[in-house]
Amino acid sequence: MTVYTDLTARALTVLRRGLPKHQWDELAQKIVQDRHTIEGHLREEVPSNEFAGLLPHLRKRSHVQIPITLSNVEELHRYFEDQPVHRGANALSFDGRPKSLAAARSDFPMAAYSAETVIRAPGLIDAMNDPRLLHLIEQYLGCVPTLYSVNAWWSFVAPRPEMTNVQFFHRDTDDWRFVTLFIYLTDVGHDGGPHEVIPGSHSLDGMKRLLKGIPFWRPKMDAAHSFVDDMGEDFSLACEQHFKTEAVQLTGPAGSMHLVNTVALHRGVVPTRTDRLVVWARYGLGPNTNSADLERGPLSVRFVPTQLQGTARDRYVNRLLIEFDRGAF
Angle at 63 between CA 314 and CA 16, to 5 degrees: 75
Residue 93 in the binding site for ligand AKG (CB under 6 A)? no
CB of 33 to ligand AKG, least distance (A): 28
Which of 268, 271, 284, 287: binder of ligand AKG (CB under 6 A)?
268
**DSSP string for 193-258:** --EEE-TTTTSHHHHHHHHTT----STT--TTGGGTS---HHHHHHHHHHTTTT-EEE-B-TT-EE
- Residues 149-178, one symbol each (x = binds ligand AKG by CB under 6 A, - = not), give ------x----------x-----x------
Residues in contact with ligand AKG, counted by CB under 6 A, come to a total of: 10
> In this complex, which beta carbon is closest to ligand AKG, that of residue 116 or of residue 174?
174
CB of 266 to ligand AKG, least distance (A): 6
Residue 262 in the binding site for ligand AKG (CB under 6 A)? yes
Tell me the C-alpha distance between 88 and 108, whole Å: 8
Q: In what order do the strands lie in the sheet with 195-197?
A: 248-250, 195-197, 266-268
- Residues 187-226, one symbol each (x = binds ligand AKG by CB under 6 A, - = not), give --------x-------------------------------
Residue 180 in the binding site for ligand AKG (CB under 6 A)? yes
Tell me the C-alpha distance between 246 and 240, whole Å: 10
Tell me the C-alpha distance between 250 and 252, whole Å: 7
> In this complex, which beta carbon is closest to ligand AKG, that of residue 28 or of residue 270?
270
Binding part of the chain for ligand AKG, among 9-17, 118-126, 260-268, 291-299 by CB under 6 A, reads 260-268
> What does the radius of gyration of the chain's CA atoms come to, in whole angstroms?
19
CB of 254 to ligand AKG, least distance (A): 15
Which amino acid, residue 201? S
How many Å separate Cα 253 from the centre of its chain? 19
Interacting residues toward ligand AKG by CB under 6 A:
155, 166, 172, 180, 195, 262, 266-268, 280
